[in-house]
Amino acid sequence: MHSTTFQKGMAYLSAAYGTELCRERLAVYWDQLQHLEDAGFLAAVKAHVAAKPRFPAVAELREVYRQQCQPQARVHRLPRPKRADADQARRVLDALKCEVRRGRP
């Protein structure tokens, strides 16, 4: 991550939570988070602010970052059956019922 992106993210957090950050604390956050991607870091910061009432610990930011980077699972829905498919299924079931009835003594 670029240091300017980090500064933007931390300024966003500081403003959102009304917290002033000392150099030592910023140094710890930078040391722990500098390997993150720029866009993912900023997305994690904004997601945290949107969902949580308190300033995040490093581990919380890292977890939100991981969640942001995971591909979103798509819901695969089966297509709606066509009328012809429903009619065909009904004919097959009716034929099976006739066969079962014939097989009974």
Tally the domains of the chain.
1
pLDDT of the residue at 74: 58
E-assigned strand segments in the chain: none
CA atoms within 13 A of residue 4's CA, in its CB half-sphere: 0
Residue of 58, 36, 45 whose CA lies nearest to 17: 45
9-57 pLDDT, tens digit per residue, is: 999 999 999 999 999 999 999 999 999 999 999 999 999 999 999 999 9
In a domain, 40, yes or no: yes
Amino acid at 52: K
In a domain, 9, yes or no: yes
Contacts of 13 (CB under 8 A, 6+ apart): 19, 45, 48, 49, 55, 56
Largest Cα span, the chain: 90
Domain that holds residue 26: 3-69
Q: What predicted TM-score, i.e. pTM, was given to this entire model?
A: 0.66
**Is the distance from CB of 16 to CB of 54 less than 8 angstroms?**
no
* Dist. CA 30–CA 8, nearest whole Å: 12
For residue 5, is pLDDT > 90?
Answer: yes
In a domain, 105, yes or no: no
